[in-house]
A and B are shown apart, each in its own frame.
Chain A
Amino acid sequence: MNQPHLFVEVHILQSLPPSNVNRDDSGTPKQAVFGGARRARVSSQAWKRATRTEYARQVPEADRATRTKRIATLLTERLARSADKGGAGLAAEQADRLATALLEPLGIAKSAKKDDQSAYLLFFGKKQLDDLVAALDGRAAELAALPADELKAEVKKLPVVQTLSTGHPAEVALFGRMVADLPALNVDASVQVAHALSTHAVRTEFDYFTAVDDEKAEDHGAEMIGTVEFNSSTLYRYAVLGVHQLRDNLSDAAETRDTAVRFVEAFARSMPTGHQNSFAHRTLPHLVLLTVRTDQPVNLVSAYEEPVTGTTGLAEQSAVQLAEELKKVGETWGNKPLRTLATYTAEKDKVTDAFGPSLSFPALLDALGALVGDWLDGGEAAVAGDGGEAAVAGDGAEAGAR
C-alpha cells in the first residue's frame, strides 16, 4: 500500500422546515455566530446519536455490537459449546471456571449481587468472543483442568486484552469507546462530525400556543399557555471518516468497506428527533457531496462565512456557493480532492462542473463502496483512477448494474 491515509468527507446541505431539533436549557434552538451573523446550530453530539440509532437499524442483529454486563455468561456459553460449533466443548462448570479466569486480566469483577454479571457494561462485538475462544488454540480442556495458580499464570500468556482490543464491532470502530478503568480497551473514533450550521442568518421565532380542555364546556378560557421557539434553516453538515483508522479498528477489509458505506448512508438519512411530533421535520438532504482525499480534510463551511441571502429559497444558492468554495480551495491551496461523488437536485452548470454529474443515492453508495474497496486493495493509485467525470460516471453505472 503506497498511501497510508484515506479520508472520506461528507458534505450535506439539508433544509429544515420550522423546527427545533436541538435546544438549550431555555428551549431555544441552539445557535452560533459565524461570519458575524447568527446561525442555527445542531450540535455534533445530537447528530451523532441520530446517526448511531439510524446505523443500528440498518445492521442485522447478529453483526451489531452488544453492550452488556453478561460478557462472562456469553463466554462461558461459547466454551461449553461443542467443538464443531466453534466452541471448546467444556463441561459447564469448567467452562465457567475458565471464563472467569480469562476475564480476570481485564479487571472485570463480577457484580456482587448477580454472580453472572460483570460490574458494568462493556461495549464489544460478539465476534470478539469467538476470537477469544479461538485464541485458546484447542487447549481449553487442558487449561480448565489446571490448579488455580497455574491457570492464572497460563491465562497471563494468552492475548485476552489484545483480542478484545482488536476486531471491534462497527459501531465502536466508528464512534470510539472510552472505558475509564480499562484503558487498553479504548478505541479512537474514526469519525469526526462538526456541528451543523445554517448557511444563512437565522432569527429565532416564537410560537405562542394555548391548550384547551376538551371537557370544560362552561367557559372558553385556555387551560394552559406557552411558547415554543423554532427556526427554519438550510444546514451545512460535515463529517470526516478516516478509512485507515476504521480499518485499524476493524482489522478487516471487507467489513471496513461495508461500514464506511453504511456510515455515509446513516449520516445522510438520520435526523435528530427534538420536537419531532410538533414539527414533523423529517427531510432528506438536497445535496450529498463526498470528497475523497489523502491530504488534509477541509471543512467547506467557509463557503457560508458570507451568509447566503435570498427570498426565493436558499438551497440552490447554498449549493452554488459550496461548488465555488470547493473549486477555490482546490485552486488556491492545491487541496483538490482525489475524487468527488455527489447526489443533488440543483441542476446548475457550476454545481455539475465542481461535483460531477448527480448520481442517485444508492448509486453514490455503490460507487463509494467500490472506491473504498479499491483503496483497501491497492492504495491511492487505484482510487485516483483516470480521474475526471468519466471515471465517476462509469463507476456509478457499473455499480448500479450489479
Chain B
Amino acid sequence: MTGTDYAVLLLRLAAPLQSWGGPSRYNRRETRPQPTKSGVLGLLAAAEGRDRAASIADLVGLRLGVRVDQPGSLLRDYHTYSDYRGVPLLSAKTNAKGQQTRTTPAKYTGVTQRFYLQDAVFVVALRGPKPLVAGLEKAVRHPVHPLSLGRRSCPPTGPVSLGLRPDTGLEEALKEVPWKAGEHRRRQVRDATVSLEATVEDPAGDHLAVDVPDTYDLKTGTTFGRRAVRHLWVTVPTGHAEPPQSAQDTGPTGQSGHDPFALLGW
C-alpha cells in the first residue's frame, strides 16, 4: 500500500480541556483517554466546512494513528440545566403522539456529568491519498468552522497542523515527530528519551475500537462502526542530554528507564 500517491498528515491536539466521547449518550458524557476517529474526522470535516449531511466516506478511509505525548487526567464537570421559564423539564416518556411529556412529579433541574481530559497533548497521524490529506492540511490552517477538540467548548491551543509527511507507515510517522509535551511535563522527565503510548489503525491489530462514524447528520444520528487497532510504545528523544546518574530514582512521574508495561508488549 506504499506509494507516492499517499501522504501522512500530522496534527497536534493540545488544549486545557479535550473530550473524546465516542458513543456516549444521555446525561453522562464520557471521554476516552485518546482522541477517537469520530472526533478527529469531525474536526477535519468542520475545518473543510462540510455540511452535516455531507458524505464522509473519503474521511473514514483515512488510517488514524494517535500518540500520547502528555496523557493528562480526567476532569468531571458537574453541569445543570433547567428551563428558563421555570416549567418542569421534559421526561423520557412520550404520549400517543410521540411528544415528550413533562416530568411528574415535576423536576426543574437536570444534572449531567461531562467528562474532560485536562492538560493533555496528542500527536495524530492520518494516512491517506495525497490530494485528500493535502486538502485537509490546508483546511485545518484555514478552517471554515472554528476547530474544537471533541467538544465545542474545547478550542485547541497553538496551531493544529504539523504539516504533511511523504508516505510512511503510521508507526514510523509517529516516531519522527519530536515530543510535543508542555514545559512542566518535560521538567519531570530527565532521561534522554521518553516512551510514549500510541495506538495505530491496523487491520492485523488485536484490539477493536468502536469509534468509526457513518455520518454526522443529526437527522439520522451517528452509529459507530469498529476498526482494528494496535497499541504500541514509541520512543522519542526528550532533548535532554544523557541522564544524570540518579535517573533511575525519578519516581513514578519521572518516567525513568523502568517501564513495567513494556513487558506486556503494548
B75 close to A (CB within 8 Å): yes
**Interface-located stretch among A78-86, A182-190, A221-229, A275-283:** A182-190
- Complex contacts, B145 vs chain A, CB 8 Å: 188, 242, 245
Q: A352: CB under 8 A from chain B? A: no
Contact assessment for B142 and A305 in the assembled complex, using a CB-CB cutoff below 8 Å: no
Given contacts A294-B142, A301-B16, A335-B159, contact A32 B148 (CB under 8 A): no
Find chain B residues with CB under 8 A from A188 CB: 52, 145
Query: Within the complex, what minimum Cβ distance (angstroms) separates B48 from chain A?
Result: 12
Q: What is the CA–CA distance of A52 and B183 in the complex, to the nearest angstrom?
A: 37
B170 contact set on A, CB distance < 8 A: none
In the bound complex, how far is the Cα of B142 from the Cα of A242, in angstroms? Answer: 12
Given contacts A5-B142, A34-B118, A119-B99, contact A195 B159 (CB under 8 A): no
Given contacts A295-B141, A305-B183, contact A33 B157 (CB under 8 A): no
Taken together as a complex, chains A and B put the C-alpha atoms of A189 and B141 apart, in Å, by: 21
User: Do residues B77 and A296 form an inter-chain contact, with CB atoms below 8 A?
Assistant: no
A319 smallest CB distance to B (angstroms): 18
Q: With an 8 A cutoff between CB atoms, is A284 at the interface? A: no
Chain B residue at minimum C-beta to C-beta distance from A307 = B184
Instruction: Give CA–CA (A75, B44) in the complex, Å.
Output: 41
Interchain CB contact under 8 A, A33 and B147: no
Q: When the two chains form their complex, are residues A45 and B158 in contact, meaning their CB atoms are under 8 A apart?
A: no
* CB–CB B99/A120 < 8 A: yes
Instruction: Indicate whether B55 reaches chain A with its CB closer than 8 angstroms.
Output: no
A36 at the interface (CB under 8 A from B): yes
Considering only residues 145-186 of chain B, those with a C-beta below 8 Å from chain A are: 145-148, 152-161, 182-185
A24 to B17, CA, bound (A): 17
A7, CB-defined interface residue at 8 Å: yes
Which of A43, A44, A195, A298 has a CB less than 8 Å from the CB of B158? A298
**Cβ of A214 < 8 Å from any Cβ of B?**
no
Asked whether A32 and B17 contact (CB < 8 A) given A189-B152, A193-B153, A240-B155, the answer is yes
- The reply to whether the CB of B15 lies closer than 8 angstroms to some CB of chain A is yes
Question: Is the pair A298, B159 in contact by a Cβ cutoff of 8 Å?
Answer: yes
Residues of B within 8 A of A112 (CB): 97
- Report if A297-B155 is in contact (Cβ < 8 Å); known contacts: A5-B142, A32-B17, A183-B219: yes
Residue of A nearest to B80 (CB): A25
Q: Which residues of A contact B182 (CB under 8 A)?
A: 35-36, 305
How long is the Cα–Cα vector from A245 to B218 in the complex, in angstroms? 18
B85 to chain A, nearest CB (A): 8
User: A195 contacts which of B153, B156, B218 (Cβ < 8 Å)?
Assistant: B153
Residue total for A at the interface (Cβ-Cβ under 8 A): 49
B171 CB to closest chain A CB (Å) equals 27
Shortest B39–chain A CB gap in Å is: 16
Contacts A5-B142, A32-B16, A33-B118 known; A301 to B75 CB distance under 8 Å?
Answer: no
Interface size class of B (residues with CB under 8 A): 35 or more
**Complex contact B147–A36 (CB within 8 A):** no
CA distance A112 to B143 in the complex (A): 46
Q: In the complex the two chains form, what is the Cα distance from A37 to B146 in whole Å?
A: 27
A186 to B146, CA, bound (A): 18
| Chain B min CB distance to A61 (Å) | 17
Interchain nearest-CB distance for A400 vs B (Å) = 30
Q: A302 on the interface (CB 8 Å rule)?
A: yes
B105-123 interface (Cβ within 8 A of A): 111, 116, 118-119
Question: Which residues from chain B contact A58 at a C-beta distance below 8 Å?
Answer: none
In the bound assembly, the distance between CA atoms of A302 and B148 in angstroms comes to: 15
Could you tell me the distance in whole angstroms from the C-beta of A120 to the nearest C-beta in chain B? 7
User: When chains A and B are docked, how far (Å) is the Cα of A238 from the Cα of B148?
Assistant: 13
Tell me if B54 is interfacial: C-beta within 8 Å of chain A: no
Instruction: Please judge, given known A-B contacts A120-B99, A195-B17, whether A242 and B118 are in contact too, CB under 8 Å.
Output: no
A322 CB → nearest B CB, Å? 13
Contact with A along B235-266 (1 / 0, CB 8 A): 00000000000000000000000000000000
Q: How far is the CA of A84 from the CA of B161 in the complex (A)?
A: 57
A257 within 8 A of B: no
Contact B77 A30 (CB under 8 A): yes
User: Does A122 have its Cβ within 8 Å of any Cβ on chain B?
Assistant: no
Choose from B52, B78, B118, B161 the contact partner of A24 (Cβ within 8 Å).
Answer: B78
Return chain B residues, CB-CB under 8 Å to A178.
Answer: 218
Q: What 10 additional pairs, Cβ within 8 angstroms, besides A24-B77, A33-B75, A45-B153?
A: A32-B118, A33-B118, A36-B182, A43-B153, A44-B153, A178-B218, A195-B154, A296-B147, A299-B156, A306-B184
Kindly list the 3 A-B residue pairs having the minimum CB-CB distance in the complex, ordered from nearest.
A36-B184, A44-B153, A24-B78
Query: Can you pick out 16 interface pairs between chain A and chain B where the beta carbons lie within 8 Å of each other?
Result: A5-B142, A32-B16, A32-B116, A34-B118, A35-B183, A36-B119, A119-B99, A194-B154, A195-B154, A197-B16, A242-B144, A296-B142, A296-B143, A297-B146, A298-B159, A299-B155
